[in-house]
Amino acid sequence: MVSNAIVEQVDCFDIGQILESGQVFRFEKVNSHTYVLVAKQKCIKLIQQPGTQSLMIHHTSIGEFEQIWKDYFDLGTDYYKISQTLAKKDEYMKAAIEFGYGVRILKQDPWEMLISFIISQNKGIPQIKQCIANITERYGEEIGYDYDTEKTYYTFPTPERLAMATEEELRACKVGFRAPYIVDACKKVAGGEIDLNEIYILPAMEAKEKLMQIKGVGPKVSDCILLFAYSKMDLFPTDVWIKRVIEGMYFEGKEISLKAIQNFAREYYGDLAGYAQQYLFFYGRENNLYK
């Protein structure tokens, strides 16, 4: 029996904008208002008709929505208040928020985010998605089949399960030079050297230092993990794309160092830096700004 949940009055929420904003990789677009999402070791289908504040979630229940998905989609946070505060900063930020009004920052699984963003280095989103799909198919467990996409979906493998994979086997999943980084992450997490749960209670900078003990986890990767899994909203992940956006909007196109951009974001956006980053990233990428 298929169970569904209908959620009404979801404010500042657009499922397409959320999933297409570069923070999550295990989803499939069925059409403009329907997506298949694999998260929290479950496979669900989300339907949101354009211009509405209601969301239908297939393959779940109201109880499961309250227990899992309400927190995952960060529905307890007042994004209207956040967006209005940021929009007052300047015209650039206002335009970004008006364009991406429905963006929210998901609360994802730390282990999955760690491996996903290790893989993300020097890869486009389609390639990242394919690598992760290869890994889950080979090392995860089957959780569902979707007739619209004609695909079978799998859980994300645990650290202990993925630790059984060799570098060669991981390279066969098309992760390339990132294979030894994944091996190191598995070893340190499965072996207890890195406690991913401990990171929740650490200040952002301490959490960042802890994650960067893993090979292949640098400042940008650690910032992404901390923002998208741990809700460290004072961080501002900075890649080449967001660097160009900030330079173009705030520095008249002049080249600025990554450190200077981080300092600017910390001082200018404060505790809302993570939210600002997502609005600007989505706005800049979707409109091909400062390419």
Q: In the CATH scheme, what is the code of domain 110-228?
A: 1.10.340.30
* Tens digit of pLDDT at every position of the chain (291 positions): 468 999 998 999 999 999 999 999 999 999 999 999 999 999 999 999 888 889 999 999 999 999 999 999 999 999 999 999 999 999 999 999 999 999 999 999 999 999 999 999 988 899 999 999 999 999 999 999 999 999 999 999 999 999 999 999 999 999 999 999 999 999 999 999 999 999 999 999 999 999 999 999 999 999 999 999 999 999 999 988 899 999 999 999 999 999 999 999 999 999 999 999 999 999 998 888 766
**DSSP string for 50-109:** TT-S-EEEES--HHHIIIIIHHHTTTTS-HHHHHHHHHTT-HHHHHHHHHTTT-------
What residues does CATH 1.10.1670.10 cover in the chain?
240-286
| DSSP class of 97 | H
Q: Is 59 helix (H, G, I), strand (E, B) or coil?
A: coil
Q: Is 7 left (phi over 0), alpha (psi -120 to 50) or beta?
A: beta
The dihedral region occupied by 242, where left means phi > 0, alpha psi between -120 and 50, and beta the remainder, is alpha
Q: Which regions of the chain carry the CATH code 3.30.310.260?
A: 4-76
Q: 4-76 adopts what CATH topology?
A: TATA-Binding Protein (3.30.310)
Domain with CATH 1.10.340.30 in the chain: 110-228
Please name the fold of domain 240-286: Endonuclease Iii, domain 2 (1.10.1670)
For residue 271, give the nearest of 13, 74, 85, 76 by alpha carbon.
Answer: 85
